[in-house]
């Protein structure tokens, strides 16, 4: 469809509706939270970030989300590959499994971890503490953000003809070289897009983390758990300024997403 | 335009950080770590007490104590500890949440005898909070049953405090403190039904529930004296109403024996719990609106006579008013009886909520 | 890559990649890694929940999912998600159309911020909504006092939160289809004289219909499981403002794990039946 300059009043009305909806739905609340954070000036915000438990919460969030991204990128890529290139019994079932974290209540996923690794759990005692410690948070983040890399990479892999790989293999390229030279260039935009989505989801996770972390301040507390705690502490500036920081992080992620989306669209043409 | 290589280097950075940076608890090189699992409400009081204890312990032993704190709804906290959250000390809202840990084999049977005052570290009352100037003229329990009154209270399924609230309302009505309802079980049940129909929001813990009220929802909150006094201290605009008849809240604290032995922290954990009963800690609790269990400190807040000065100055704006008719959990034959009768899948309150909200 | 030592499966995978000159080993190794990953991270938790839900037998499972509180919580989830999906499908299709069709100032900004609800932590979404629509704020106060609409801690608040969370789905599924859509001459001729609405209905909509339905189902399924934003804005009153996921959370916190597991299985099954069922229906229609 070609882009045109709107002339009719209906077209202009449609544009107004579309922009107005987005504005009311989430732009206005975003403005409200920024305003709420700056209500008392800059000093309370700076004080929030001088609180070592806030710094620590961000550290935990970023490092564990980074680790979740690493796990889901590498294993997700492998999974996407196996699900598109291999034919085996039960493939459909495993393909369905990928979607489950997307629709599953994260709270119950967190609780399943306690059943597995908690005191008297099925797999207790684990070698290192898992639930109510950092590994549990990592597992929770991996779970909730699992579908993204697989689902972004899969359709692109389907469009690559296996002949290219075979051709590469016949001229003596090893499979890792084939992967790096032939496949990776094709899927890298989709992979990065998946990675960005994974990272966003992992940073924002709250439900599963709330159950498995024990919310120990300065230890297992994440940035989102801090927001929840600060609200209950009547420390509204703290809650809002950490929220705004998370939003800024989101906007950074967003800019990445939109530039990647552009690449993805170009690739499809 | 963001270059692909930039993204890649950012990701590589993240991966490197996550692979190599060990995350440590803050100020990790500490000699001893103590984990405190508390219910949601006394958080600020512990914020005052912990530094006092750290100083005390440093003076006594030369050892530095790091206290890791976690606060959530009492029931949730108790279940987390039972499920493997290795807290050294639990400070919960209601005794059954400690009993669960006793049943799980984590706390020894005789925990109550290990501390003064039967294991209870603070007291409070179930009270009502209304909008400034009490525009609806609510003076006691009876006012909650009127039509078009919006009531805020937490959910007894998750919140220990909510169970206090429901029991207070029922018990007070049975004592004839709810005008318009007969002073017996039939009247009390009818009263509870009328209140339940007026409940507007049922939050998961006491603090969240009171914050909902602070945000402007509801006409009256069933809450605790310490919540109202504590909120007023930080500028909350609402009036405290102490009903003529209400329940005495007693909050337990206990050392989690299994975990302190596992961590080798028994000595410091027991010292911390004992410290909570000393005058200064009790004053800190009182300054946040809790009724102290220590009678000497109670005296400083108008409960009895005189006290001795210490490191914590009593807040003179807080005085604890007497209550005409104060009953305890024994009114219902103890917690085991009360919980079976009121809460859980077949409890009276669960049935009433299903009846009045379920149309 | 070899300097990363994250966990054993990755090393196995690298070994598999290296060894795959002998195709059979590498092939199977790669498959083992992928399936192991899905089994460990998805299937095992799923089994745990299933076992917990059924641990006192099917009768008990049935009893906990047919409790009036549970039924009404699940119904509220389905209802609010459905309302959300319908609103967002209409507006989302419109937004995608406007974004593709018209040139207007601020277009590229709008195109970027559409993904914002994907990126913002949903808990923060809830916080933002409380800040804007809370009864003490200008907007919330106006709605409450002048119009008598209570947004927060009531059903409208839940729908609002879901609207934000589900906003990008339809737009992002429909937009690429519209971008590739070409109105050819005959279609153009066909629509001469017909109004814009007819053109849309007869020509454009059939082409984008699969994408619209996919977006609708995705957003519906996603919001059935939504928790972070709903927990902040929902009132948690059984029968009135307690959604399925919040009910599950309350049951977990209340120690009733069997009920929590059972109800979350039901939510999961609904999500799958609806998405798969409608997907199949759609496919049959397009083939016919």
For residues B336 and B205, state if they share a domain: yes
For residues C28 and C162, state if they share a domain: no
Domain count, chain C: 2
d(CA A134, nearest CA chain B) in Å = 8
Nearest to B17 among A66, A188, A215 (CB): A66
**Residue B27 forms part of a structural domain:** no
State whether C102 and A6 contact (CB < 8 Å). Answer: yes
DSSP letter for each residue of B205-225:
SHHHHHHHHHTT--SEEEEEH
State whether B358 and C72 contact (CB < 8 Å). Answer: yes
Chain A positions in Cβ-Cβ contact with residue B26 (cut-off 8 Å): 52-53, 56, 218-219
pLDDT tens digits, A10-27: 889 999 999 999 999 989
Give the ipTM of the model, two decimals please: 0.87
Is residue B54 within 8 A of residue B64, CB to CB? The reply is yes
For residues B137 and B226, state if they share a domain: yes
Tokens 């429909």 belong to C174
For residues C35 and C121, state if they share a domain: no
Helix (H, G, I), strand (E, B) or coil at A92: helix
Q: Which helix (H) or strand (E) holds C71?
A: helix C68-101
Please tell me the pTM assigned to this model.
0.86
For residues B244 and B333, state if they share a domain: yes
For residues B191 and B292, state if they share a domain: no
User: What's the average model confidence in pLDDT over B42-64?
Assistant: 92
**Residue C207 forms part of a structural domain:** yes
For residue B1, pLDDT over 50 is answered with no
User: What's the average model confidence in pLDDT over B141-168?
Assistant: 91
**Is the peptide bond prior to A125 cis by the omega test (within 30 degrees of 0)?**
yes
For residues B294 and B352, state if they share a domain: no
For residues C111 and C43, state if they share a domain: no
For residues C12 and C86, state if they share a domain: no
For residue C79, pLDDT over 70 is answered with yes
Q: Which domain holds residue C31?
A: 8-53
Is residue C227 within 8 A of residue C162, CB to CB? The reply is no
A224, two tokens: 């989102």
Q: How many CB atoms lie within 10 A of CB C74?
A: 22
Q: Which helix (H) or strand (E) holds B127?
A: strand B120-130
**Residue C1 forms part of a structural domain:** no
What percent of chain C lies above the pLDDT cut of 90? 37
Lowest mean pLDDT segment, chosen from B97-111, B244-258, B297-311, C236-250: B297-311
CB burial readout C32-42, b (16+ within 10 A) else e? bbbbbbbeebb
- Total count of residues recorded for chain B: 359
**Residue C2 forms part of a structural domain:** no
Inform me whether the C-beta atom of residue A253 falls under 8 Å from chain B C-beta atoms. no
Is residue A131 within 8 A of residue C64, CB to CB? The reply is no
For residues C28 and C114, state if they share a domain: no
- Of the pLDDT bands very low, low, confident and very high (cuts 50, 70, 90), residue C3 is very low
**Residue B18 forms part of a structural domain:** no
Domain count, chain B: 2
Mutate to test the interface with C, among A103, A121, A231, A259 (most CBs of C within 10 A): A103
Q: Which domain holds residue B96?
A: 32-122+250-300
Chain B positions in Cβ-Cβ contact with residue C72 (cut-off 8 Å): 358
Helix (H, G, I), strand (E, B) or coil at B69: strand
For residue C70, pLDDT over 80 is answered with yes
For residues B77 and B178, state if they share a domain: no
User: What's the average model confidence in pLDDT over C132-140?
Assistant: 82
For residues B226 and B330, state if they share a domain: yes
**Residue B228 forms part of a structural domain:** yes
Chain B positions in Cβ-Cβ contact with residue C260 (cut-off 8 Å): none
For residue B9, pLDDT over 90 is answered with no
Report which of residues A48 and C198 the model is more confident about. A48
For residues C105 and C176, state if they share a domain: yes
Question: Which of C19, C35, C53 marks a domain boundary?
Answer: C53
The segment with the largest mean pLDDT, out of A264-268, B292-296, C185-189, C274-278, is B292-296
Nearest to B70 among A64, A214, A263 (CB): A214
For residues C28 and C133, state if they share a domain: no
For residues C14 and C99, state if they share a domain: no
For residues B226 and B186, state if they share a domain: yes
Is residue A108 within 8 A of residue A189, CB to CB? The reply is no
For residues B243 and B172, state if they share a domain: yes
For residues B132 and B37, state if they share a domain: no
User: How far is residue B158's CA from residue B208's CA, in Å, rounded to a whole number?
Assistant: 12
For residues C145 and C237, state if they share a domain: yes
pLDDT tens digits, B78-93: 989 998 999 999 999 9
**Mean of per-residue pLDDT scores for chain C:** 82
**Residue B315 forms part of a structural domain:** no
- pLDDT at residue C21, rounded to an integer: 43
User: How far is residue B151's CA from residue B143's CA, in Å, rounded to a whole number?
Assistant: 10
User: How far is residue C59's CA from residue C48's CA, in Å, rounded to a whole number?
Assistant: 19
- pLDDT at residue C153, rounded to an integer: 84
State whether A6 and C132 contact (CB < 8 Å). Answer: no
State whether C253 and B79 contact (CB < 8 Å). Answer: yes
- pLDDT at residue A86, rounded to an integer: 85
| Assigned CATH topology for domain A52-268 | MetI-like fold (1.10.3720)
For residues B59 and B98, state if they share a domain: yes
- Of the pLDDT bands very low, low, confident and very high (cuts 50, 70, 90), residue C190 is low
For residue B267, pLDDT over 70 is answered with yes
For residue C157, pLDDT over 60 is answered with yes
Is residue B165 within 8 A of residue B220, CB to CB? The reply is no
**Mean of per-residue pLDDT scores for chain B:** 87
State whether C110 and A253 contact (CB < 8 Å). Answer: no
User: How far is residue B15's CA from residue B23's CA, in Å, rounded to a whole number?
Assistant: 14
User: How far is residue B98's CA from residue B118's CA, in Å, rounded to a whole number?
Assistant: 13
> Any idea what the CATH number is for the domain that residue C188 is in?
1.10.3720.10
For residues B55 and B132, state if they share a domain: no
d(CA B80, nearest CA chain C) in Å = 9
- Of the pLDDT bands very low, low, confident and very high (cuts 50, 70, 90), residue C184 is low
A224-A229-A235 Cα angle (round to 5):
110
State whether B200 and C253 contact (CB < 8 Å). Answer: no
**Residue B74 forms part of a structural domain:** yes
Nearest to C245 among A15, A105, A115 (CB): A105
- pLDDT at residue C18, rounded to an integer: 41
State whether A114 and B68 contact (CB < 8 Å). Answer: no
Calculate the alpha carbon distances from B44 to A230, B3, B48, B65, C259 in Å. 12, 48, 7, 19, 35
Closest CA to B330 of B250, B223, B254, B222: B250
Would you kindly state where each structural domain of chain A is located, as residue ranges? 1-37, 52-268
Is residue C231 within 8 A of residue C247, CB to CB? The reply is no
Tokens 């704190």 belong to B69
Chain A positions in Cβ-Cβ contact with residue C123 (cut-off 8 Å): 204, 206, 224, 227-228
For residues C118 and C228, state if they share a domain: yes
User: What's the average model confidence in pLDDT over B243-256?
Assistant: 96
For residue B16, pLDDT over 80 is answered with no
Contacts of C85 (CB under 8 A, 6+ apart): C166, C216, C217, C219, C220, C223
User: What's the average model confidence in pLDDT over C264-268?
Assistant: 92
Is residue B67 within 8 A of residue B27, CB to CB? The reply is no
For residues C88 and C209, state if they share a domain: yes
- pLDDT at residue C8, rounded to an integer: 36
**Residue B20 forms part of a structural domain:** no
Inform me whether the C-beta atom of residue C236 falls under 8 Å from chain B C-beta atoms. yes
- Total count of residues recorded for chain A: 269
Inform me whether the C-beta atom of residue A25 falls under 8 Å from chain C C-beta atoms. yes
Chain A positions in Cβ-Cβ contact with residue C183 (cut-off 8 Å): 1
Closest CA to B36 of A215, C12, A203: A215
d(CA B129, nearest CA chain C) in Å = 18
> Any idea what the CATH number is for the domain that residue B183 is in?
3.40.190.10
Residues in chain A, pLDDT under 70: 1, 169, 173, 267-269
For residues C38 and C78, state if they share a domain: no
């Amino acid at each position: 469809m070609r882009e045109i300059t709107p002339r009719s009043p209906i077209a202009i009305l449609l544009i107004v509706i579309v922009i107005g909806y987005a504005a009311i739905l989430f732009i206005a609340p975003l403005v409200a939270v920024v305003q709420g954070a700056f209500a008392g000036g800059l000093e309370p915000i700076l004080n929030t970030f001088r609180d070592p438990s806030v710094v620590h919460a961000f550290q935990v969030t970023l490092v564990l989300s980074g680790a979740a991204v690493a796990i889901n990128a590498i294993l997700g890529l492998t999974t996407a590959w196996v699900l598109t290139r291999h034919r085996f019994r039960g493939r459909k079932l495993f393909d369905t499994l990928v979607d489950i974290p997307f629709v599953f209540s994260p709270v119950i996923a967190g609780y399943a971890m306690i059943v597995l690794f908690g005191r008297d759990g099925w797999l207790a005692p684990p070698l290192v503490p898992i639930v109510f410690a950092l590994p549990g948070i990592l597992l929770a983040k991996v779970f909730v953000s699992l579908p993204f890399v697989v689902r972004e990479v899969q359709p692109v892999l389907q469009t690559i003809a296996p002949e290219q790989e075979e051709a590469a293999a016949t001229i003596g390229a090893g499979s890792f070289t084939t992967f790096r030279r032939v496949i990776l260039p094709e899927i890298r935009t989709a992979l990065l897009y998946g990675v960005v989505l994974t990272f966003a989801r992992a940073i924002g996770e709250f439900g599963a983390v709330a159950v498995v972390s024990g919310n120990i301040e300065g230890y297992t507390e994440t940035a989102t758990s801090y927001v929840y705690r600060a609200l209950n502490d009547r420390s509204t500036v703290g809650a809002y300024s950490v929220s705004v920081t998370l939003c800024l992080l989101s906007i950074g992620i967003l800019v990445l997403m939109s530039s990647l989306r552009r690449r993805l669209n170009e690739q499809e043409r | 335009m963001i270059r692909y290589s930039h993204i890649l280097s950012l990701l590589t950075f993240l991966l490197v950080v996550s692979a190599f940076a060990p995350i440590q608890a803050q100020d990790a090189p500490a000699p001893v770590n103590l984990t405190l699992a508390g219910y949601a409400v006394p958080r600020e009081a512990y914020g005052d007490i912990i530094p006092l204890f750290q100083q005390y312990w440093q003076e006594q032993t030369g050892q530095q104590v790091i206290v890791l704190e976690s606060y959530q709804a009492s029931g949730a906290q108790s279940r987390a500890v039972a499920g493997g959250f290795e807290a050294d000390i639990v400070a919960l809202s209601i005794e059954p949440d400690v009993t669960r840990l006793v049943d799980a084999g984590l706390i020894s049977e005789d925990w109550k005898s290990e501390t003064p005052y039967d294991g209870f570290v603070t007291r409070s009352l179930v009270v009502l909070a209304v909008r400034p100037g009490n525009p609806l003229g609510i003076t006691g329990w009876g006012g909650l049953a009127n039509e078009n009154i919006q009531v805020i209270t937490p959910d007894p399924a998750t919140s220990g405090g909510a169970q206090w609230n429901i029991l207070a309302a029922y018990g007070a009505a049975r004592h004839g403190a709810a005008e318009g309802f007969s002073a017996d079980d039939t009247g009390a049940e009818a009263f509870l039904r009328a209140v339940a129909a007026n409940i507007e929001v049922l939050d998961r813990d006491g603090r969240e529930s009171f914050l909902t009220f602070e945000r402007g929802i509801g006409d009256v909150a069933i809450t605790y004296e310490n919540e109202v006094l504590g909120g007023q201290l930080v500028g909350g605009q609402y009036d405290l109403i102490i009903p003529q008849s209400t329940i005495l809240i007693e909050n337990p604290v206990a050392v989690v024996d299994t975990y302190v032995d596992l961590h080798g922290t028994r000595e410091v954990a027991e010292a911390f719990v004992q410290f909570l009963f000393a005058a200064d800690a009790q004053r800190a609790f009182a300054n946040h609106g809790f009724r102290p269990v220590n009678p000497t400190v109670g005296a400083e807040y108008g409960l009895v006579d005189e006290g001795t000065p210490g490191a914590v100055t009593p807040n003179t704006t807080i005085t604890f008013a007497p209550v005409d008719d104060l009953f305890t959990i024994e009114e219902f034959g103890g917690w085991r009886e009360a919980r079976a009768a009121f809460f859980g899948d077949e409890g009276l309150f669960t049935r009433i909520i299903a009846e009045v909200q379920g149309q | 890559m070899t300097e990363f030592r994250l966990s054993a499966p990755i090393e196995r995978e690298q070994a598999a990649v290296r060894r795959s000159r002998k195709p059979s080993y590498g092939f199977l190794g790669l498959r083992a890694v992928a399936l192991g990953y899905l089994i460990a991270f998805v299937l095992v938790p799923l089994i745990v929940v299933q076992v917990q839900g059924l641990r006192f037998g099917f009768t008990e499972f049935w009893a906990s999912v047919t409790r009036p509180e549970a039924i009404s919580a699940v119904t509220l989830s389905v209802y609010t998600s459905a309302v959300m999906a319908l609103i967002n499908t209409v507006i989302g299709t419109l937004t995608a159309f406007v974004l593709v069709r018209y040139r207007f100032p601020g277009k590229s900004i709008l195109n970027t911020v559409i993904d914002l609800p994907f990126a913002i932590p949903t808990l923060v979404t809830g916080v933002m909504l409380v800040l804007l629509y809370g009864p003490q704020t200008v907007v919330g106060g106006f709605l409450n006092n002048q119009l008598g609409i209570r947004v927060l801690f009531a059903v409208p608040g839940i729908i609002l939160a879901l609207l934000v969370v589900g906003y990008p789905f339809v737009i992002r599924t429909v937009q690429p289809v519209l971008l590739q859509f070409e109105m050819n001459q005959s279609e153009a001729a066909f629509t001469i004289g017909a109004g814009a609405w007819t053109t849309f209905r007869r020509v454009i909509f059939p082409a984008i219909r699969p994408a619209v339905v996919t977006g609708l189902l995705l957003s519906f399924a996603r919001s059935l499981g939504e928790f972070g934003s709903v927990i902040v804005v929902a009132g948690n009153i059984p029968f009135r403002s307690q959604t399925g996921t919040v009910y599950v959370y309350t049951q977990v916190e209340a120690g009733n794990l069997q009920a929590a597991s059972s109800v979350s299985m039901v939510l999961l099954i609904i999500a799958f039946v609806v998405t798969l069922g409608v997907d199949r229906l759609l496919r049959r229609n397009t083939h016919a």
